[in-house]
Amino acid sequence: MSDHAATNGRPLLTPFNIVAGIIVVVGLILTVLRFTGGLAATTNLDDYNPWGLWIGFDLLVGVALAAGGYVTSAACYIFGMKRFHSAVRPAVLTGFLGYALVVVALHYDVGRPWRLPYPFIMQQGTTSLLFEVGACVALYLTVLFLECTPVAFEWLGWKKARALAVKMTMVLTIFGVILSTLHQSSLGALFLIAPSKLHPLWYSGYLPVYFFVSSIIAGLSMVIFEGTLSHRAFHDKMDAVHLEERDGVVLGFAKAASLVLAGYFFIKVVGISADNNWHYLGTGYGAWFLVEMIGFVMLPSILYAVGRRDKNIPLIKWTAAWTVLGVIVNRFNVSMIAFNYHLPASDRYFPHWMEIAISVFIVTVGVLIFRWIVTRMPIFYEHPDYQDSH
């Protein structure tokens, strides 16, 4: 599809474009302020709270919600569920943009961003969890980029390059699943070094397992959620195959999400039992923990199951949005709300409005790039020259 065809008939001054334009302008101004005035000029971070919103949301949430790429690719190519093929390209593109923006966000959070490559150059050992996370994220971002190249090659008309990229699909999928298993779990393992800072209800030796399993939940729910929004915004870009398979993808992913949520609830209960932390449930933090477990884990597991049984697509879509919110709540609990829980209220961290604005700016940039790509490249439809070639 040509750029002219992609934009023909679309007014420039739409409410979305105006709001997005304002967010981008404000974000660019705050970016200049951040990199000229330092962290102190734009954040509420301090020695007690060196990690804030940019780690809790931009990194931990961003990586979790980008898990749809490896989940969908594994289902389609490794487990042979070809009926989910139409969801692979949108999921992989969302995953690639998610990881790319995580790297961008890290530049805002790190005091000396130009030293981000140092662990790969200067560090002599590989025992650091941060090194493992950095290495896996960098490698997986490369894998996602390579998985996205067939789309670009089809758009550019590079048939030989596209054929070579397609031959690498299985290898890239397996490599991507391995890397995702490593760094999704390692993000949880980072908090194992802070047993005195993280509340016992969220601290557990099973944290790496919690983060990995919840990333699968996030990936499955995000595919449904992103597909719902895309169907509204880009319905005219979708071919008949994509539209026909849409309900099947929603029902299949809802079934999987229901089962994984149930399993996640079970291992969380096992974690509380293993550490004998039942008495904390009677505290204020215990009440909030129950809200997370019952409201954002047990409830969506049941709703997904009911939606799958009754083939209630609207219920599943709303449940997906609620589950995505639940993943965000969980990552916020671990990284901010239940972290440094023993400090007095005056010393607790709350993000500066500029931190929030920059996070919104980064998300908006991702949405704009996603829209630019899907309106020009074969994401929601098969390119006419390559139909039935998968």
Separation between Cα atoms, residue 299 and residue 213, nearest integer Å: 17
Q: Where are the domains of the chain?
A: 15-381
Least confident piece of the model among 185-199, 282-296, 374-388: 374-388
pLDDT score for 111: 85
Q: Does 3 have pLDDT greater than 70? A: no
pLDDT score for 48: 81
pLDDT score for 123: 64
| Better pLDDT: 384 or 228 | 228
pLDDT tens digits, residue range 208-267?
999 999 999 999 999 999 999 999 989 888 888 888 888 999 999 999 999 999 999 999
Confidence of residue 4 (pLDDT cuts 50, 70, 90): very low
Cα 192 to Cα 67, 197, 203, 334: the distances in Å are: 22, 10, 7, 11
Closest C-alpha to 215, from 297, 327, 132: 327
pLDDT score for 124: 58
The domain 15-381 is placed in CATH, from the list 1.10.3720.10, 1.20.1630.10, 1.10.10.10, 1.10.357.140, at 1.20.1630.10
Confidence of residue 120 (pLDDT cuts 50, 70, 90): confident
pLDDT tens digits, residue range 277-296?
999 999 999 999 999 999 99
Give the predicted TM-score (pTM) of the model: 0.92
pLDDT score for 390: 53
Type of residue at 112: R
